A and B are shown apart, each in its own frame.
Chain A
Amino acid sequence: MSAPVTAEVAAIKNLKQIAREEFILPGTAVCGGCGGLEGLRLAAKVLGSKTVYINAAGCFTLLAVYPYSPFKGSWLYTTMGGAAAAAQGVRDALDVLMARGKLPVEDDVQVVVVAGDGSTYDMAMAANSGAIFRGLDFWYFCYDNESYGNTGVQMSSATPYGARTTTTPVGSAARAGTEHGKKDLFEIWRAHQPAYLATVSPRYPVDLTNKFLKAKGLRGPKLFIAHASCPTGWLFEPKRSAEVAKLAVQTGIFALKECVGGAVTHTHIPRRRKPVEEYLRGQGRYAHLFEPTRNDAALRLIQEQVDRYWEAAAKAGAASS
């Protein structure tokens, strides 16, 4: 399913090789400092304007609110559960119209699903699985702000252990806030054997750009899980958005990796990982782990999870490549 369609695109080495043109224009109604938007904006610089974004209901509903749109290309706003299926419809439609001579080949576009974690990890799980299973030639950009952000920050199955949301509040009977761990979407998707699968961070623009460039040469499902630092939902000052995203990587909480042909490669290995506390402390959603009393057990659990992850990664040899 992952036959390369073009020669490998040369990777970039520094910021200054990132495209200067914007394909998603400013002035949208999403929050200032939105890490998800930053990720999508950088992705769009690789994707260009011959692109249709198929948007699941979520925060990014606000990207285009009548009569304003930020897109130089196309956009189709769909439901929380149906974006990948809609992508299937669009891809199939364009293919059949071209095959039947009803659409000039130069009018073809790339099909890109844009969906939050609530959509991706929860409601659209089956529809996504279906699209990937069918080998659909499309892109999937999941901006993971670890909650149902648009409805005011409720728990999704991407919400990490210990984070407070409005449906996992902190109380005497629930000291950690969210009690379950985050669903491992990367591994679920990996089992589907997509053409390309990667995690990206808005604070690692070169890594992000290179992953999109690499995927551009592949036909089939090209799947991205973007860490989407979210000032509004995670409760930190908007200016710290990129910093928070960076800390997630530096503490090892968010692993930058990719998977081609089943093998996982970590594209950035934090040599000396910062303690997870440095990431957690600056976010109001974790404040209860520190005040009024320190929840050592919860903090230890989070640290151990991260340590275990990287130990396993090192063992698997993935980290060495």
Chain B
Amino acid sequence: MRVRFHGRGGQGMKTASRILGSAAFHAGLVVQDSPVYGAERRGAPVAAFTRIAKAAIRERGLIAAPDLIVVADETLLFEPTAMPLAGCSARTVVLINTATDAAALQERLAHLGRIESADFTSLVFSITHTLVGLSTALGVAAAALVGLSLEESLAGVAEELAHATLSRAAYEANERLAQEAYALADAWRAVPEPLDASLALAAEAAPTALLAAAPAGAPGTQLVELRFEPPARATPTICVANTPERSTGSWRQFRPLLQRDLCNACWTCFVLCPEGAIALDEHEFPLIDYEVCKGCLVCVHECPTHAFATEKEVR
């Protein structure tokens, strides 16, 4: 059983992968879990992996062809640096945290396999009044989907939360959250065929979509003879100022929206935007470059006339 979690830095997908790992370990299975993150920060796409098997696991690193994919943030679905559905096959179950319903997603994503979705964010918020429980909710939902019991799932949560210093109330809220998330996902499990965490890891089957296990000699898989290139190319230097092409706008969870009539063109937001994502137009009104605005909302918070509204990003 291979499970891949996708989220953004700060959303707790590493913890989710560990909750699943600990739950399976508690169930007596062999487990391997690991995160990958670049040096990027909060808001940037991250992934985490949990492998579960009955016998020793002879795999390492990234999971290219997962059985279950958990997506913590629907804005990741079309993000080129995340590609959460890469390596999907018709067998792959995809669990998405979103208010959009599964059928609509099925169409948009053109995914052949099962998609389940629920608004875990609202669930978390309604119980814990913060967003920090997303890891618990999605870790437990994944545990339910792969066939672990509620008791095992709760053990996984307890194990992982032992490292956090939580108040008694927060701890109890988390437990309640875990139970609800389990119930939600458990209802999906029966249809049409449950994933079984106790399955031994089969060799990663050739997925139908991206990253298909290419037959020998397929384009791109052959080894090449690397040639010497002149120093002007082979020296690691960058000769253009080009970070705006990185499109950090995809990090944004909330979008600042200028209400022009409230703005008095005071320059505060332009000066205080840490990114330099705001320019000024000919009337000195701010122009936000949404390609790069990270959605930190400093501009919103600092505007003396409260001229910005915020809007949750839906992509």
Q: Which residues of A contact B (CB under 8 A)?
A: 15-16, 18, 20, 22, 24-35, 37-38, 41-42, 61-62, 64-72, 150, 170, 202-203, 205, 231-232, 237-243, 291-292
Question: Residue-by-residue, is B126-164 near A (CB-CB < 8 Å gives 1, otherwise 0)?
Answer: 000000000000000000000000000000000000000
Instruction: Confirm or deny: B38 has a beta carbon within 8 angstroms of a beta carbon on chain A.
Output: yes
Q: Smallest Cβ distance from A243 to chain B, in angstroms?
A: 6
Q: Enumerate B251-300 residues with CB–CB distance to A below 8 Å.
A: 251, 266-268, 270-277, 279-280, 284, 289, 291-298, 300
Closest 10 CB pairs of A and B: A27-B243, A32-B296, A32-B294, A239-B297, A33-B296, A31-B41, A38-B274, A26-B292, A238-B296, A69-B238
With A37-B274, A41-B274, A243-B302 as contacts: A15 and B246 at CB distance below 8 Å: no
Instruction: Confirm or deny: B225 has a beta carbon within 8 angstroms of a beta carbon on chain A.
Output: no
B43, B272, B273, B291, most chain A CB atoms within 10 A: B272
A31, A67, A150, A292, most chain B CB atoms within 10 A: A31
Contacts of A69 in B (CB 8 A): 238, 240-243
Q: How far is the CA of A34 from the CA of B43 in the complex (A)?
A: 13
Q: How many B residues, CB 8 Å from partner?
A: 47
Q: How far is the CA of A258 from the CA of B38 in the complex (A)?
A: 38
| A32 B251 Cβ-Cβ under 8 A | yes
Contacts of A71 in B (CB 8 A): 241
Q: Please name 23 pairs of A and B residues whose Cβ atoms are closer than 8 Å in the assembled complex, sorted by A.
A: A18-B267, A26-B275, A27-B245, A27-B247, A27-B292, A29-B44, A32-B41, A32-B43, A32-B251, A33-B298, A38-B272, A41-B274, A62-B40, A62-B41, A67-B238, A72-B241, A150-B39, A202-B272, A205-B271, A231-B42, A231-B296, A239-B301, A241-B296
Q: Which residues of B contact A (CB under 8 A)?
A: 38-44, 165, 167, 236, 238, 240-248, 251, 266-268, 270-277, 279-280, 284, 289, 291-298, 300-302
Q: Which one of A26, A42, A240 contacts B248 once the chains associate, using CB atoms below 8 Å?
A: A26
With A29-B39, A203-B272 as contacts: A238 and B241 at CB distance below 8 Å: no
| B302 A242 Cβ-Cβ under 8 A | yes
Q: How far is the CA of A27 from the CA of B295 in the complex (A)?
A: 12
| B276 A25 Cβ-Cβ under 8 A | yes
Q: How far is the CA of A15 from the CA of B304 in the complex (A)?
A: 14
Contacts of A231 in B (CB 8 A): 42, 296
With A24-B276, A239-B297 as contacts: A66 and B238 at CB distance below 8 Å: yes
Q: How far is the CA of A20 from the CA of B124 in the complex (A)?
A: 42
Q: Which one of A32, A68, A203, A239 contacts B242 once the chains associate, using CB atoms below 8 Å?
A: A68
Contacts of A202 in B (CB 8 A): 272, 274
With A61-B39, A66-B236, A243-B302 as contacts: A25 and B243 at CB distance below 8 Å: yes
Contacts of B302 in A (CB 8 A): 242-243
Q: How far is the CA of A241 from the CA of B251 in the complex (A)?
A: 17
